[in-house]
Amino acid sequence: MIARLRPLGIAALLLLLAWFAGGQRPLGRVDPALALPLLLLPMLALGWWQRGEPRAARQRAILATLLAVAVGQGLFAWLLAGRAGWGQIALVLVVGAAAGWLSDALVQRRTWARALRVAVAAVVLAAWFVVGHALLARLYRAPAPSTDAPVVTMLTGLPLRWSGDDLTTMIAAGAQEDPALARIEAAGPVRLVDSLADHVPPPGGTLLLAHPRALAPRDLIAVDAFVRGGGRAVILADALSGWPVERPLGDPRNPPVTSLLTPLLDHWGITLGAAPVGETAARAYDVGGARLRLFSAGRFERLPPTCAAFAGGRVAQCRIGAGEAWLVGDADLLFAPLWRPAVPGADHLRRADTMEWLDARLRGAGAERALLHPLWIRARQP
């Protein structure tokens, strides 16, 4: 009887490890794939418990454990995320079978002394953990962009490049690109401009207005003409920017405190409301299946019938003439601590889909997609 319950106990142990140590609970996700780096430890425990049993019984126990994990993780993901992630579950089953075989081989190596088997198991366990995370990082990372990726023309008032006080300091320090700009450039070509009237997006290109400083009338006209003519744009218009400033208050080199795009939004029949009072932490919102983390985001209080609102009015998709504009009432969306994983390069441990969502809006069909995607625990939408 106890032997029959072992698979359920090991499956429960693995689910708990994935929830806490695997990052599901801290990241607000239920990805079955996050269990991969931790699979070997429970399988080693199972192999040790049944080291004296026949081979067929050991194999049945491994299979029963993996099936229990698949059912448990699938139900868990369905209840919390609304989808089971069958592709990730299939990956867990395949890798779990390899972990079970490896564990059984290590435990059954009777010709080795027990101390040697323990030492080898510890080394293999550490290697499995590292390789598992490296594999997940690659599976969750989009491949290199294609050569025909659309050019993004970007105009911003945020300190994404050149943070020095004078030209000599800037040349000595180098570009010092903000992680957001570096990530956008990694997805395809970017033109950083200071005037849209003089640098109209090329044919097939897109536009990113990221909380710019006050635009001249001819620049506003250029934006309107580009979108109405069939262009695609993403506009970040923050009602109250929380972006850190390095210079004294009032210094014109600081990013704008509030959005200066009111003339353009008014022309489109859009009104951005004030930022909420007393918001002290970023909040998660689901927009089209992607997780965005916003901080003190303003709501679009007035939208024309050609717009669709998301995230309680904090994000809007609008048809403007023959083109399309995505509006976000928050420029802090790009602030690296809100989207970048704590471990550099660990794309599978990210807390938001900000850059992936932005790529899809800017590059459209040209945006490269990763093989695996996070299964976010559904956020409460206000």
Q: d(Cα 198, Cα 202) in Å, to the nearest integer?
A: 12
Q: Residue 177: what pLDDT?
A: 85
CA atoms within 13 A on the CB side of 371: 10
Tell me what the mean pLDDT of segment 184-192 comes to. Answer: 94
For residue 175, what pLDDT band results from cuts at 50, 70 and 90? low
Helix (H) or strand (E) run with residue 227 in it: helix 217-228
Is the CB of residue 82 less than 8 Å from the CB of residue 76?
no
Inform me whether the pLDDT recorded for 337 exceeds 60.
Answer: yes
- Dihedral angle, C-alpha 123, 128, 131, 132, nearest 10 °: -160
Buried b (16+ CB within 10 A) or exposed e, 82-100: eebbeebbebbeebbbebb
Burial of residue 166, with CB atoms counted within 10 A of its CB: 0-12 exposed, 13-18 middle, 19 or more buried: exposed
Contacts 24+ apart (CB under 8 A), 79-86: 80/30, 80/377, 80/378, 81/29, 81/30, 81/375, 81/376, 81/377, 81/378, 82/378, 83/375, 85/30, 85/31, 85/32, 85/33, 85/375
DSSP assignment string, 13-28: HHHHHHHHTSSHHHHT
The set of residues, in sequence order, having a beta carbon less than 8 Å from that of 343 and lying 6+ positions away, is 349
Q: d(Cα 8, Cα 210) in Å, to the nearest integer?
A: 51
Tell me what the mean pLDDT of segment 195-208 comes to. Answer: 94
Q: d(Cα 320, Cα 4) in Å, to the nearest integer?
A: 63
Q: For the chain, what is the radius of gyration of the CA atoms?
A: 25
Tell me what the mean pLDDT of segment 123-146 comes to. Answer: 94
Q: d(Cα 82, Cα 76) in Å, to the nearest integer?
A: 9
Q: d(Cα 367, Cα 313) in Å, to the nearest integer?
A: 26
Q: Choose the weakest-confidence range: 6-20, 75-89, 157-171, 350-364.
A: 157-171
Tell me what the mean pLDDT of segment 172-189 comes to. Answer: 82
Q: d(Cα 280, Cα 296) in Å, to the nearest integer?
A: 8
The mean pLDDT of the chain is 91
For residue 5, what pLDDT band results from cuts at 50, 70 and 90? confident
The pair of structure tokens assigned to 289 is 């299946």
- For the stretch 13-40, pLDDT in tens is 999 999 999 999 999 999 999 999 999 9
- For the stretch 280-311, pLDDT in tens is 789 999 998 899 999 989 999 999 999 999 99
Q: What's phi and psi for 186, nearest 5 deg? A: -65, -20
Candidates 296, 196, 279; CA nearest to 238 is 296
More confident residue, 365 or 72: 72
Q: d(Cα 148, Cα 115) in Å, to the nearest integer?
A: 57
- For the stretch 252-271, pLDDT in tens is 678 898 999 999 999 999 99
Q: Choose the weakest-confidence range: 61-65, 171-175, 180-184.
A: 171-175
Candidates 92, 99, 93; CA nearest to 46 is 99
Q: Residue 324: what pLDDT?
A: 97
- For the stretch 229-246, pLDDT in tens is 999 999 999 988 888 877
For residue 170, what pLDDT band results from cuts at 50, 70 and 90? very low
Inform me whether the pLDDT recorded for 172 exceeds 70.
Answer: no
Q: What's phi and psi for 31, nearest 5 deg? A: -65, 120
Q: Residue 241: what pLDDT?
A: 87
User: Looking at the DSSP assignment, which residues form a beta bridge with residue 210?
Assistant: 156, 236
How is the chain split into domains, by residue range? 2-139, 152-366
Is the CB of residue 286 less than 8 Å from the CB of residue 192?
no
- Give the whole-number percent of the chain exceeding pLDDT 70: 92
The pair of structure tokens assigned to 344 is 């550099």
First to last CA, the chain: 49
Q: Residue 167: what pLDDT?
A: 45
What's domain 152-366's architecture?
3-Layer(aba) Sandwich (3.40)
Q: Residue 276: what pLDDT?
A: 85
- For the stretch 54-100, pLDDT in tens is 999 999 999 999 999 999 999 999 999 999 999 999 999 999 999 99
For residue 111, what pLDDT band results from cuts at 50, 70 and 90? confident
Inform me whether the pLDDT recorded for 219 exceeds 90.
Answer: yes
